[in-house]
């Protein structure tokens, strides 16, 4: 086993060759299983032998210095790296037992199950209503207008935006504030009833109040969805994440319960990073 494999400091060390997991008892709520994942951009290896189990209905934060592979890893979970021609991937990413990279995996269906929210809010140039209704219609999740209306309302309510927009659903999504636009993007992601929501620095373009609103929202959304978020903000990881994985130079150095990792990191590199000594 890679000597720098992720470490779970309050758990039994796994047998040689076995991946690190949170604990045996929790394996029933496994959502995503990653084994020996390697990724290259052309000749440059960006992910190096990653092994990690991600658990259902939790928030997992991916932290680490710039360029350590957090976003690249996130994009492995919904095959968005396939859109980059120079990318080559090896290893297993399994979601609820299904091999995400299997040739017969339907990428459109996969991206319905794995929603994504980006750093910069990116609503479609359409009405607030259409931003939410479009994908469910494309995926045939609704047939009647009344059903569609209900779905739009539910998604906007779940994203904590309904009360602010219910009287202006036909206005452009882009007319909303940055924080509202990000919640609209979250409503759009949850409208297709995914299992997993990937968030790539979802609050880094937002003011502190909008950031706090999104953090509260993540706490509610994890009752229904598995959330994996990239963040540069240590306090945010400590506030929102049940589990945290620390990445460094394309490897997972440590992965653990967030409270444990932040109070007693097992690795010197983790300690240096979370205490702000580098990165």
Ligand X SMILES: Nc1ncnc2c1ncn2[C@@H]1O[C@H](COP(=O)(O)OP(=O)(O)OP(=O)(O)O)[C@@H](O)[C@H]1O
Supply the minimum distance, in Å, between the C-beta of residue 60 and ligand X: 15
Q: How many residues bind to ligand X according to rule CB under 6 A?
A: 11
User: How many angstroms separate the Cα of 75 from the Cα of each of 46, 62, 100?
Assistant: 12, 12, 12
Q: Which stretch binds ligand X (CB under 6 A): 60-68, 95-103, 171-179, 185-193?
A: 60-68
SS3 assignment, position 74: helix
- Residue labelled with tokens 């990937």: 198
Supply the minimum distance, in Å, between the C-beta of residue 228 and ligand X: 13
Q: Does 46 bind ligand X (CB under 6 A)?
A: yes
Per the structure block, which two tokens stand in for 261? 């990792």
Supply the minimum distance, in Å, between the C-beta of residue 206 and ligand X: 16
Q: Does 88 bind ligand X (CB under 6 A)?
A: no
User: How many angstroms separate the Cα of 57 from the Cα of each of 49, 79, 202, 228?
Assistant: 25, 21, 18, 10
- Judged by CB under 6 A, the residue of 10, 27, 67, 96 near ligand X is 67
Q: Does 71 bind ligand X (CB under 6 A)?
A: yes
Q: Put residue 63 in one of left, alpha, beta given phi > 0 → left and psi -120 to 50 → alpha.
A: beta
Q: Which stretch binds ligand X (CB under 6 A): 59-67, 109-117, 152-160, 266-274?
A: 59-67
Q: Does 84 bind ligand X (CB under 6 A)?
A: yes
Near ligand X in 22-41, by CB under 6 A: 41
Cβ-in-10-Å burial (0-12, 13-18, 19+) of 248 comes to buried
Of 120 and 139, which CB lies nearer to ligand X in the complex structure?
120
Between CA 60 and CA 143 the distance in angstroms is: 35
- Judged by CB under 6 A, the residue of 3, 25, 66, 143 near ligand X is 66
Q: Does 118 bind ligand X (CB under 6 A)?
A: no
Of 84 and 98, which CB lies nearer to ligand X in the complex structure?
84
Q: Does 105 bind ligand X (CB under 6 A)?
A: no
Of 69 and 265, which CB lies nearer to ligand X in the complex structure?
69
Q: Does 43 bind ligand X (CB under 6 A)?
A: no
- Judged by CB under 6 A, the residue of 72, 131, 181, 210 near ligand X is 72
Q: Does 69 bind ligand X (CB under 6 A)?
A: yes
Between CA 23 and CA 19 the distance in angstroms is: 11
Q: Does 134 bind ligand X (CB under 6 A)?
A: no
Between CA 193 and CA 114 the distance in angstroms is: 9
SS3 assignment, position 108: helix
Q: Does 68 bind ligand X (CB under 6 A)?
A: yes
Nearest-5° Cα angle at 226, 263 to 115: 125
Cβ-in-10-Å burial (0-12, 13-18, 19+) of 37 comes to buried
Interface positions with ligand X (CB under 6 A): 41, 46, 64, 66-72, 84
């Amino acid at each position: 086993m890679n000597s720098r494999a992720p470490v779970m400091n309050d758990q039994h060390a796994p047998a040689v060759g076995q991946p690190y997991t949170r604990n045996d008892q929790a394996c029933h709520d496994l959502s995503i299983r990653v084994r020996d994942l390697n990724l290259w951009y052309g000749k440059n290896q960006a992910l190096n032998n990653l092994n990690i189990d991600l658990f259902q209905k939790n928030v997992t934060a991916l932290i680490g210095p710039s360029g350590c592979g957090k976003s690249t890893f996130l994009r492995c979970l919904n095959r968005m790296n396939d859109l980059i021609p120079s990318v080559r991937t090896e290893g297993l990413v399994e979601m609820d037992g299904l091999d995400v990279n299997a040739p017969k995996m339907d990428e459109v269906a996969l991206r319905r199950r794995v929603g994504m929210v980006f750093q910069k809010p990116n609503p479609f140039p359409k009405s607030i209503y259409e931003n939410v209704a479009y994908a469910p219609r494309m995926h045939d999740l609704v047939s009647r207008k009344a059903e569609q209306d209900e779905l739009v309302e539910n998604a906007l309510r779940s994203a904590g935006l309904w009360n602010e927009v219910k009287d202006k659903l036909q206005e452009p999504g882009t007319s909303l504030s940055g924080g509202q636009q990000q919640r609209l993007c979250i409503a759009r992601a949850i409208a297709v009833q995914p299992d997993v929501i990937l968030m790539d620095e979802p609050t880094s373009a937002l003011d502190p109040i909008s950031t706090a609103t999104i953090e509260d929202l993540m706490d509610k959304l994890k009752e229904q969805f598995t959330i994996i978020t990239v963040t540069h903000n240590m306090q945010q990881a400590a506030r929102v994440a049940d589990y945290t994985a620390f990445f460094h130079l394309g490897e997972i150095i440590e992965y653990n319960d967030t409270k444990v990792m932040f109070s007693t990191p097992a690795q010197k590199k983790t300690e240096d990073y979370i205490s702000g000594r580098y990165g």
